[in-house]
Structure 1
Amino acid sequence: MVYESGLELKTLLLLITDPDVVDVWDQPPAVSYVDPAGKERSHTFDFLATMIDGSKRAIAVKPYERVQKIDFESTLRLIGRQLPDGYAHQICLVTEQELDPIAVHNAELFHDYREPDKEADQAALSVTAKLVGAARLDELSAFIGLGPRGLHALIRLIKSRRLLLTHHERITPRTLVKPVEMH
């Protein structure tokens, strides 16, 4: 993966840790478009994300100040009207204003602890299968009995949406989680 800024890195982390995203292509092929003056130009999106439903999102990442200065939203609308068939179903613009610092923090944890640990993951599933109501991660980790490995396994369960946060917050050992209700 290639990223040129901290803003791109944060966006990439959010994409690669999102269970609804199945593939991320960084710096996909440029698309050509004709600007309002009739001049042919090209634009390279920062990412092309394929979603679980098969749809594709072309993602441009730019600092908010630059977006405003060059009226980049108008450029993206123009590009969107001229996109080749099948390139993307949606164009998204990400600036620092769209990035939720809590979501970025949690995405960093999901990325850091993404590698499976069969023993800890199985123990976390066993402990949380009996969970009724909410519990703190450190309490659940103590029941797992594998130290930090248990906490990391619980974080993987949050990422995979088998556990839910009770509040939108940065994940810490004191975070309350609850089981996903079965319908």
Structure 2
Amino acid sequence: MPLRGNWVPAKRMALALHSLIDGSFPEDRFDVVGFSDYARRLQPRDLFATGWERVFGTNMQHAFMVARRLLGAHPDAEQQVIMVTDGEPTAHLEGETPLFHWPPHPRTLELTMMEAKRLTRSGATLNVFLLDHDPGAAAFIEHMVRAVEGRIFYPDLDDLGSVVVHDFLHRRG
């Protein structure tokens, strides 16, 4: 994300959504999972300090694993994943070791698809906000979203926060 200038708007969007949920829907739970070579849960305060790690990789496979674990801890809650990304997966885990490939390796795509399916089979809805409108980068994401019956959005970077918040409020009812 940092290479394309998407990092700061994505952090702003996450903070805005956290603030909205915390203030208006305190019974809801909102977790942020950041991912590069590895995925990890971020606290809202981490978003203020978190910068680019200068580690390459978009490890959606691990992000879906972490999201599924977090959602599994709250089985009665609405299971919704909002993923903001600027491209296709370029890293995956083999055991506990991240492997980066550009262009994406078929194994990365396979493992990412497998985890997306596991996530949605567990009851989660996958909503992807794709910031890169390049047809090559979008092809896998579009295929994955169709396979798991999720939804995909193509917001302009300037509208990212308002599009995500509007969709959340619309689905929240």
Alignment TM class, shorter chain as reference: 0.3 to 0.5
Structure 2-normalised TM-score? Answer: 0.32
Greater RCO (CA < 8 Å, at least 6 residues apart): 2
Q: Return the structure number with greater helix share.
A: 2
Between Structure 1 and Structure 2, whose CA radius of gyration is higher? 1
